Amino acid sequence: MEKADIPVVKRSLFSWVFAGNVKLQILLLLIIVVMVAARVLPLEMQKRIVNEAINLRNVDLLFLYSGIYLGAVVFFSVLKYLISIIQTLITQRTTARMRKSLYRHILTLPLSFFRNTQPGMVVNSLSAELTVPGNFAGMAVAAPVTNLLTLLAFAAYLFWLNPLLAAVSLSIYPIVIFLIPVLQKGVNRYNKKRVDAARKFSARIAEAISGIHEIQGNGAYRIENRKYDALVNRLLKIRIFWSLYRFGVKSANGFFTSLGPFLVFILGGWLTIKGQLELGALVAFLSAQERLFDPWKELIEFYQVYQDGKVTYNRTMEYYDFEPEYALEPKDRKPFELDGSVQVKDLSFVTETGIRLLDGINVSLQAGEHLALVGFSGSGKSTLALCIGQLYKYTGGHVLIGEQEVSDLTKKDMVNNIGIVAQNPFIFDGTIEENLLYSCMARVNGSGRDSEGLPTLDDIIAVLQQTGIFVDVLRFGMNTILAHDENKDLVNVIIRVRENFQRDFGEELADYVEFFDENKYLHYSSVAENLIFGTPNKNAFATANLCNNPYFLNFLKQADLTRPLLSLSAELARQTVDILGNLPPESVFFEQSPIGPDELEEFKLLVERLRRTKLHELSAEHHEQLLDLALRFVPGVHKMVALPAILENLILEARAMFRENIVKDDPEAITFYQVTEYIYSQTILNNIFFGKTKTANPQAQEKINQSIVQLLIAEDLLETIIEIGMHYQVGTKGDKLSGGQQQKLAIARIFLKRPRILIMDEATSALDNKSQTRIQNLLETRWKKKNTVISVVHRLDTIKNYDQVAVMKAGKILEIGTYDELIARKGMLYELVGKK
């Protein structure tokens, strides 16, 4: 079992050898004893084969001894493989335990530790540095016991064969035992340097990746390259010397052990010639001497693994050898249920470098009161809030919550009573739901939505609406692509909503929406989309690739569309060049043309060629260019040229022909639009909408969205879509969300927890005015007199209704009172409001 009472950073490397592995290690010892016997037996068989079977020309003995030899070799190989499996299991289990224990410890370290430590260093410690110590734990019993027993068994057998020859051949090993530790000191010295350099190397990479916006924004490529190159060169030098010492150990070992056979040949040969040693004994002796090298080599390798593991392990644990500032959970009692009152008495906070950030702070809040902390940047507002929240350990004075000293409370006490929203909240990689429930699950030690004590779906939806992120989650849900042939009940409802949408809102939204109709030309879809009238399932049928698709090009010829489309494209090119040719290459001028500003120069050259050359005489490359232009032509948007009625009819006829052909030739290529079928390659929204918008007007889009929401509510589908939206993956650090969405999600996360004391550290700084007002109104209407709120405020127009306003400067509270009282005094707050 793991020694839970001893901090991981205080445990020795050897303490991991049997931790959780006692049974496996005992099993290893038993297997090793049997394996060593199986390893010596072939030597005796070699001697008997030569002396008895061959010398006496006895075929029966030859087969008998050879069979025993083969059986021993096979049995040894099986046992060796079994030992390798058990060693691997011990190694991986021990490495996993080390990583888990160290990670748990790291999470409890003071925030000051992380301000001085790069994330890359922590990553390197957990992922790379613990690998070698883990390998040692797997070898700690098997390697020395196996090889020492083997050496002793071989040595005993050699002395049994000939004591003099055995003594001479084994005389080299004491020299090696003396020499290896001398060389190993050099290995250890450079190994320590290697570990330190590898940490800096990992930290440098992590810092560069984290600050990539600044690097690219400032074009600081050379600066960062110089920093990185210097670390690489240092690591290169260290690793070269480290490797030289390691190879020195191996070379010295190999040289001296190779002298063994030489001594056997000289002395053993002489004894055999003199008749004092049997030939079979000499063969067995040579074989044993050769095999002595393997266990000896493995012992040396084990010694190196031990030394490397010890250096790496000690270096790693020394780096994280800090005590947590607070106990994680209370012992012999349940977590406190505090009443929400906050008393700050003569509070001070001095950093490790001696800077006084807080000095003599006094604040008194009754349960349910709201306090606003205001002042210029650096005045100590956030520091005070974080000292109250136990994220910073104050160095003097007192902070009492419900008459309990904060410095004496455990983390569990604080988690159960306090919620904190930071200015730059951290959003974890995962789903919106996982981030929403993060604080609640931490409080109840839950592992999922079904954990007891977690909020219901109705609670979640209410908070999403209150914080203003409901619309975002709904949009994420509507933009979800359902897995094929799953959620069949939901699919049927969505198809019904689609039908109701067209029936109930078709006329009302006629100016805004063009619904898909297989019998009508879609003027707000491209020519390619009109021809295919579906969603491509294969990349070859994507609009951008159609002009290179042999199947599609052949179809255009069969439908007699190639020439008309080329003519249409030529006219589009002429009109665009004539009208826009001399205008600046800005997108706004090209909105009514399928030609983009970056393509204009190419089409100028093409139009000039068309003036001198007939259409059919153009090169295949120019035909492809023109065809691509025609296929992306959208008549309802690109109004520079009208679509001829005859071509419109030809395309409609070709649509039916294309469907008939592709269904027969490649039925998996396209999913066709059918009002009664769900399109699995499209989002839920597109399946309901089943058409194209005619305008980008935000009011029109809002009207469409409201219509769809009404139908979702009528079909009791809104909660289902919200649940789907909550499975949206927010990305690393929430990078798939905007800054405002991240702050709303963080606020919703704490609102769901509904703590007795809420600390908001400029928690609405990234929100627009409307969203900020919504959050403030919510605090004033639903939290006032019920939950204590301490808010670091950057917008002074939001503090009028706070119970108390504290104005801070240089780590002190200059004045405190109600908003009206402080304004009436015409002191610091009056000046701040006036400056705003």
| CA-based nearest residue to 522, from 659, 634, 650, 689 | 634
The pLDDT score that the predictor gives to residue 353 is 82
| CA-based nearest residue to 84, from 45, 133, 35 | 35
Residue 716 — left, alpha, or beta (φ > 0 → left; ψ -120 to 50 → alpha)?
left
Q: Is the pLDDT of residue 246 over 80?
A: no
User: Hey, what's the torsion of the CAs at 829, 831, 834, 836, to 10 degrees?
Assistant: -70
Q: What is the rounded CA–CA span in Å between residue 249 and residue 768?
A: 67
In DSSP terms, 761 is beta-bridged to: 792
Amino acid at 150: T
Please state, in angstroms and as integers, the Cα–Cα distance from residue 74 to each residue in 286, 287, 404, 513, following that order. Answer: 21, 18, 70, 78
| Tokens 């009528």, located at residue | 714
Averaged pLDDT, 94-116: 86
Q: Is the pLDDT of residue 241 over 90?
A: no
| CA-based nearest residue to 550, from 627, 440, 476, 444 | 627
How many other CB atoms are found less than 10 A from the CB of residue 797?
12
Q: Is the pLDDT of residue 735 over 90?
A: no
Q: Are 325 and 111 in contact (CB under 8 A)?
A: no
Averaged pLDDT, 364-380: 90
Amino acid at 212: I
Q: What is the DSSP letter of 729?
A: B
Averaged pLDDT, 654-673: 91
| Tokens 């839950």, located at residue | 446
The pLDDT score that the predictor gives to residue 398 is 94
Summarize pLDDT for 161-195 with one digit per residue, the tens: 667 666 666 666 666 666 666 666 777 777 778 77
The pLDDT score that the predictor gives to residue 282 is 61
Q: What is the rounded CA–CA span in Å between residue 215 and residue 223?
A: 9
Structure tokens at 683: 């989002």
Q: Are 640 and 575 in contact (CB under 8 A)?
A: yes
Name which residue leads in pLDDT, 240 or 248: 240
| CA-based nearest residue to 480, from 241, 666, 663, 686 | 686
Alpha helix segments (H runs only) across 211-331: 212-218, 221-263, 269-273, 279-319
How many other CB atoms are found less than 10 A from the CB of residue 604?
14
Q: Percent of the chain, pLDDT > 90? A: 21
**What confidence tier does 293 reach under pLDDT thresholds 50, 70, 90?**
low
The pLDDT score that the predictor gives to residue 264 is 62
Q: What is the rounded CA–CA span in Å between residue 531 and residue 694?
A: 19
Structure tokens at 481: 């692509």
Q: How far is CA 775 from the centre of its chain?
A: 31
Q: What is the rounded CA–CA span in Å between residue 799 and residue 365?
A: 16
| Average predicted confidence (pLDDT) for the chain | 83
Amino acid at 505: F
- Most confident region among 252-266, 497-511, 516-530 by mean pLDDT: 516-530
Averaged pLDDT, 608-630: 88
Q: What is the rounded CA–CA span in Å between residue 190 and residue 239?
A: 8
Q: What pTM was estimated for this model as a whole?
A: 0.75
Summarize pLDDT for 391-441 with one digit per residue, the tens: 889 999 999 998 899 999 998 898 889 988 888 888 888 899 988 988 888
Q: How far apart are the first and last CA of the chain?
A: 62
The pLDDT score that the predictor gives to residue 267 is 62
Q: Is the pLDDT of residue 473 over 90?
A: yes
The pLDDT score that the predictor gives to residue 225 is 79
Structure tokens at 457: 């779906």
Q: What is the rounded CA–CA span in Å between residue 506 and residue 58?
A: 103
Those residues with Cβ within 8 angstroms of residue 597's Cβ, 6 or more apart along the chain or in another chain: 585, 586, 587, 589, 590
Query: Which range, of 295-309, 318-332, 695-709, 782-796, averages the lowest pLDDT?
Result: 295-309
Q: Is the pLDDT of residue 1 over 50?
A: no
Please state, in angstroms and as integers, the Cα–Cα distance from residue 140 to each residue in 87, 130, 132, following that order. Answer: 9, 15, 12
Q: What is the rounded CA–CA span in Å between residue 127 and residue 95?
A: 10
Q: Is the pLDDT of residue 316 over 90?
A: no
Averaged pLDDT, 9-24: 86
Q: What is the DSSP letter of 455?
A: P
Averaged pLDDT, 269-293: 64
- Most confident region among 263-272, 559-568, 789-798 by mean pLDDT: 559-568
Q: What is the rounded CA–CA span in Å between residue 453 and residue 614?
A: 77
Q: Is the pLDDT of residue 298 over 80?
A: no
Q: What is the rounded CA–CA span in Å between residue 424 and residue 421?
A: 8
**What confidence tier does 314 reach under pLDDT thresholds 50, 70, 90?**
confident
In DSSP terms, 431 is beta-bridged to: 729
Q: What is the rounded CA–CA span in Å between residue 104 and residue 106?
A: 6
| CA-based nearest residue to 292, from 155, 385, 194 | 155
The pLDDT score that the predictor gives to residue 835 is 55
Averaged pLDDT, 810-829: 90
Going 398 to 403 to 408 to 410, the CA torsion angle's sign is negative
Q: How far is CA 229 from the centre of its chain?
A: 26
Q: What is the rounded CA–CA span in Å between residue 140 and residue 219?
A: 51
Summarize pLDDT for 571-615 with one digit per residue, the tens: 999 998 888 888 887 877 788 888 888 888 888 888 888 888 888
Residue 801 — left, alpha, or beta (φ > 0 → left; ψ -120 to 50 → alpha)?
alpha
Q: What is the rounded CA–CA span in Å between residue 714 and residue 13?
A: 65
In DSSP terms, 759 is beta-bridged to: 420, 790
The pLDDT score that the predictor gives to residue 281 is 62
Q: What is the rounded CA–CA span in Å between residue 324 and residue 105?
A: 8
Structure tokens at 496: 């019904």
| CA-based nearest residue to 517, from 530, 507, 527, 504 | 530
The pLDDT score that the predictor gives to residue 3 is 47
Please state, in angstroms and as integers, the Cα–Cα distance from residue 292 to each residue in 70, 152, 171, 248, following that order. Answer: 20, 10, 13, 20
Domains of the chain: 8-319 (1.20.1560.10), 517-672 (no CATH)
Query: Which range, of 40-49, 396-405, 515-524, averages the lowest pLDDT?
Result: 40-49
Name which residue leads in pLDDT, 212 or 438: 438
Q: Are 479 and 727 in contact (CB under 8 A)?
A: no
The pLDDT score that the predictor gives to residue 2 is 44
- Secondary element (H or E) of residue 553: helix 550-558
How many other CB atoms are found less than 10 A from the CB of residue 791?
25
Summarize pLDDT for 442-451 with one digit per residue, the tens: 777 655 555 5
Name which residue leads in pLDDT, 294 or 101: 101
- HEC letters along 612-666: HCCHHHCCHHHHHHHHHHHHCCCCCCCCCCCCCHHHHHHHHHHHHHHHHHHHHHC
Q: What is the rounded CA–CA span in Å between residue 348 and residue 356?
A: 7
How many other CB atoms are found less than 10 A from the CB of residue 537?
15
The pLDDT score that the predictor gives to residue 177 is 63
- Backbone torsions φ then ψ of 397, nearest 5 degrees: 85, -160
Structure tokens at 165: 């020859």
User: Hey, what's the torsion of the CAs at 549, 552, 553, 555, to 10 degrees?
Assistant: 160
- HEC letters along 484-528: CCCCHHHHHHHHHHHHHHHHHHCCCCCCCEEECCCCCCCCCCCHH
Q: Is the pLDDT of residue 213 over 80?
A: no
Those residues with Cβ within 8 angstroms of residue 649's Cβ, 6 or more apart along the chain or in another chain: none
Q: What is the rounded CA–CA span in Å between residue 724 and residue 677?
A: 21
Q: What is the rounded CA–CA span in Å between residue 307 and residue 686?
A: 63
**What confidence tier does 512 reach under pLDDT thresholds 50, 70, 90?**
confident
Structure tokens at 111: 């925030």
